[in-house]
Amino acid sequence: MSFSKVYPDAKSALQGIKDNMTVVVGGFGLCGIPENLILALRDSGVRDLTCVSNNAGVDDFGLGLLLQTRQIKKMVSSYVGENATFEKQFLSGELEVELCPQGTLAERIRAGGAGIPAFYTPTGVGTKVAEGKDTREFDGRTYVMERGITGDFALVKAWKGDKFGNLVFRKTARNFNPMVATAGKITVAEVEELVEIGELDPDQIHTPGIFVQRIIQGPRFEKRIEQRTVRK
């Protein structure tokens, strides 16, 4: 019996997602976020999600859409400064937030995907980040223990992919997506261009298809910018 990783649309690719699951989402700012999968996640109506992502999008785009509908109960993020909805829900106590230094967050996701349950880092020692966490001294320097991160689902966006799930990311979209792709029990990839197996140069593949269970080709959105700054 043949098995295909290719799904016809984002809705079908999210089959099995349920309330209270942990979803790890790729992207950096508004670059490299899986727009179609986020929309399908919103439309699925699942609630009380824990979302792990570098940031929470903006009010009307990215994960900000799930905040609008109050489908997220907890965010694990690094940078959240562009989302007023996030701010309001956090200050009112509606949204639980775990802030994590950006490099530490990337390494927590990478470690989870590599099967490493925890590691020690000097980042955050002596700050609120280290409160309640184990610390140890190595070679005269103090380190704080951080746990690896995995999710029930991982959602990523790639530039190109083939039907086995091999992925190629483009420029800034490569920042978090490769680590996120390894960290899900089920990884769903959204690609701009879907090609046949064998068409991608093996030396240019950033994420091997062994990490990807489902793949869709999604319509392209406008390339959004979080905060546009121009000269007068």
pLDDT of the residue at 143: 98
125 within domain boundaries: no
- pLDDT tens by residue, 96-113: 999 999 999 999 999 999
3 within domain boundaries: no
Which domain range does residue 193 map to?
10-117+149-217
- pLDDT tens by residue, 109-168: 999 999 999 999 999 999 999 999 999 999 999 999 999 999 999 999 999 999 999 999
228 within domain boundaries: no
CA distance 85 to 133: 29
141 within domain boundaries: no
The count of other CB atoms within 10 Å of the CB of residue 49 is 23
The count of other CB atoms within 10 Å of the CB of residue 200 is 18
- Tokens 């489902």: give the residue: 214
Residue 149 contacts residue 24 (beta carbons within 8 Å):
yes
> What single letter denotes the amino acid at residue 54?
N
CA distance 191 to 202: 17
**Confidence class of residue 216 from pLDDT cuts 50, 70 and 90?**
very high
153 within domain boundaries: yes
CA distance 229 to 190: 29
Average pLDDT, the chain: 93
Nearest to 226 by CA among 117, 115, 64, 98: 64
> What single letter denotes the amino acid at residue 84?
A
This prediction has a pTM of 0.92
pLDDT of the residue at 1: 37
66 within domain boundaries: yes
DSSP per residue, the chain:
-----B-SSHHHHTTT--TT-EEEE--BTTBT--HHHHHHHHHHT--SEEEE-SB--BTTBTTHHHHHTT-EEEEEESB-TT-HHHHHHHHTTSSEEEE--HHHHHHHHHHHHTT--EEEESTTTTSGGGTTS-EEEETTEEEEEEE---EEEEEEEEEEEETT--EE--GGGGTTHHHHHHSEEEEEEEEEEEE-TT-S-GGG-SB-GGG-SEEEE-PPPP---SS-----
pLDDT of the residue at 229: 81
pLDDT of the residue at 79: 86
- Give me the number of domains the chain comprises: 1
> What single letter denotes the amino acid at residue 215?
I
**CATH number of the domain where residue 170 is located:** 3.40.1080.10
53 within domain boundaries: yes
22 within domain boundaries: yes
